[in-house]
Structure 1
């Protein structure tokens, strides 16, 4: 279980340091490197003159190539490191950039601070950095709801899922997962350009997040001040979400905080009539973002502790 120990190290390093701005300015970020590769492949192989069937095959080939290349690089590095305990720390440091623990906290906290002080304009600008809905249409409840939903979903996609696959397979697992997640975020959309080309990327991402999403929901439920409400909300509402995975952490968070999440929202001028999670509960406020962040921190500490115990067991 040395891989579990390495993932605990990655979480601890990221929790303390995040990804420093100076380091980002000098070398960028591995996810940004993946993004540039995917963009090049998208431009090169996602051709509008091709039939949807051809574009679907091309997209599947691109997904397999990017995931295979990423996991292969991780495997080569991992083999070179071997698995001695003295190298587990180095393995964790190499995995550190792929865990967005500190970044997620900072981005969501950046919404909570101005919203609590009544600066709705600054809060809208901050929430626009983490969600795709139109910020100008959001009141306090809408901003708080968007921030909490982003916190819950990205806790799964940005932390639990990568360390889950990293704990199983080491660097190939965590790098391969980040390739999957980046592919989905860039080409896995139901748009005219990516409906066919990104089909495989979206399906692979659904599969890769199936277990981590439910694990994230359980972590939130166990540590919530209202664990029974969190559990019942997950059981009742998780599968009502448009995503087969995101509904689990979001429903757990909604029940745990005693607020309603999801619901209708506006994207690019169009109304998306999403069902409510924890319908009948009150709308969230700025203070609920802070409570959500507290629950998030507790869940991540529990996850890191569990990984460390597995490593030493």
Structure 2
């Protein structure tokens, strides 16, 4: 079965209609279903009275269980489908909810629109939907910076990574990856509660994103107005990021847009002293969010084109 073709179908359906609000209100979303299971295991197995090594082992078991169940479900469904083009289309439609292509674009565009018109209050409200830092502390440049960073990181985590694993393994690949990414977003944090329990989830997510993050950065470089600037910025600054993966697309888009990203920010009243990416460049503005969205659309079109070529081969 041509899984690359199935991922083209998934991307096309999501680009056209996203995940409609009435559908979400009625049945939720596969990520929320995974979240329910993760919350259940977190509440049952992550006991604060247990020693740290035991909580780490329990967290690893929880992560393996969630990933295995998701991949097994994908395999069971996929094994019942035909291997011809009809089966490819069905796999693509089933994979569609796991690709956040339109949602990411719409959420970032929702920040750009009020920021362009000077409505900083509305822009802060919108950016608070996509980042964890305190939006009340952000000025125009901070809002633009947070939006572009979220666009770059989530282009990798929300689109490139799931379709990469989906193209390799079909439904088991894309479902397994979404389980990994959801585990990391829910319990893979260095907090008192999840430092030990979420350790395995965070490490597995790091491994799953090694290739997709670099592919995302490479696409931004290839489509940048100044490829040499984007390339040099990615190679120089990607490893300065606190994440072993997010720095690649973020540094690439910083170089492509000619702006500086990352840097110190405030989370829940605490200052995180993060290093700058492309430090010598100017601060971003609302227009740079729009330029980033254009680059994002071109990168996703390129990705779909590569999958179409692979499917035809």
TM-score, scaled to structure 2: 0.99
Question: Using the alignment, how far apart are the partners of 2:83 and 2:169 within structure 1?
Answer: 12
Indicate whether 1:190 and 2:190 are aligned: yes
Instruction: Give the structure 2 partner of residue 234 of structure 1.
Output: 234
Instruction: Give the structure 1 partner of residue 137 of structure 2.
Output: 137
Per-residue CA deviations over 1:51-70 (Å, capped at 9, x if unaligned) read: 00000000000000000000
Per-residue CA deviations over 1:85-111 (Å, capped at 9, x if unaligned) read: 122111100000000000000000000
The gaps in structure 1 that reach 5 residues or longer are: none
Worse-superposed segment, 72-81 or 220-229: 220-229
Instruction: Give the structure 2 partner of residue 11 of structure 1.
Output: 11
Q: Report the alpha carbon displacement of residue 82 of structure 1 after superposing the two structures with TM.
A: 3.2
Per-residue CA deviations over 1:131-167 (Å, capped at 9, x if unaligned) read: 0001111000000000000000000000000000000
Question: Using the alignment, how far apart are the partners of 1:14 and 1:221 within structure 2?
Answer: 25
For 1:9-158, list aligned pairs within 5 A: 9-158=9-158
RMSD value, Cα: 0.6
For 1:188-227, list aligned pairs within 5 A: 188-227=188-227
Indicate whether 1:175 and 2:175 are aligned: yes
Instruction: Give the structure 2 partner of residue 311 of structure 1.
Output: 311
Runs of 4+ in structure 1 over 3 Å off: none
Worse-superposed segment, 96-105 or 20-29: 20-29
Question: Using the alignment, how far apart are the partners of 2:84 and 2:91 within structure 1?
Answer: 10
Question: Using the alignment, how far apart are the partners of 2:142 and 2:227 within structure 1?
Answer: 24
Q: SS where residue 57 of structure 2 aligns?
A: helix
Q: SS where residue 266 of structure 1 aligns?
A: strand
Q: Report the alpha carbon displacement of residue 286 of structure 1 after superposing the two structures with TM.
A: 0.2
Question: Using the alignment, how far apart are the partners of 2:194 and 2:273 within structure 1?
Answer: 22
Instruction: Give the structure 2 partner of residue 267 of structure 1.
Output: 267
Question: Using the alignment, how far apart are the partners of 2:83 and 2:17 within structure 1?
Answer: 25
Q: SS where residue 271 of structure 1 aligns?
A: strand
Question: Using the alignment, how far apart are the partners of 1:224 and 1:125 within structure 2?
Answer: 30
Question: Using the alignment, how far apart are the partners of 1:226 and 1:272 within structure 2?
Answer: 31
Instruction: Give the structure 1 partner of residue 302 of structure 2.
Output: 302
Q: SS where residue 190 of structure 2 aligns?
A: coil
Q: SS where residue 245 of structure 1 aligns?
A: coil
The gaps in structure 2 that reach 5 residues or longer are: none
Q: Report the alpha carbon displacement of residue 27 of structure 1 after superposing the two structures with TM.
A: 1.0
Question: Using the alignment, how far apart are the partners of 1:19 and 1:44 within structure 2?
Answer: 31
Q: SS where residue 55 of structure 1 aligns?
A: helix
Question: Using the alignment, how far apart are the partners of 1:202 and 1:136 within structure 2?
Answer: 29
For 1:156-167, list aligned pairs within 5 A: 156-167=156-167
Q: SS where residue 129 of structure 1 aligns?
A: coil
Per-residue CA deviations over 1:231-268 (Å, capped at 9, x if unaligned) read: 00011000000000000000000000000000000111
Per-residue CA deviations over 1:72-92 (Å, capped at 9, x if unaligned) read: 000000000132112211110
Question: Using the alignment, how far apart are the partners of 1:57 and 1:247 within structure 2?
Answer: 29
TM-score, scaled to structure 1: 0.99
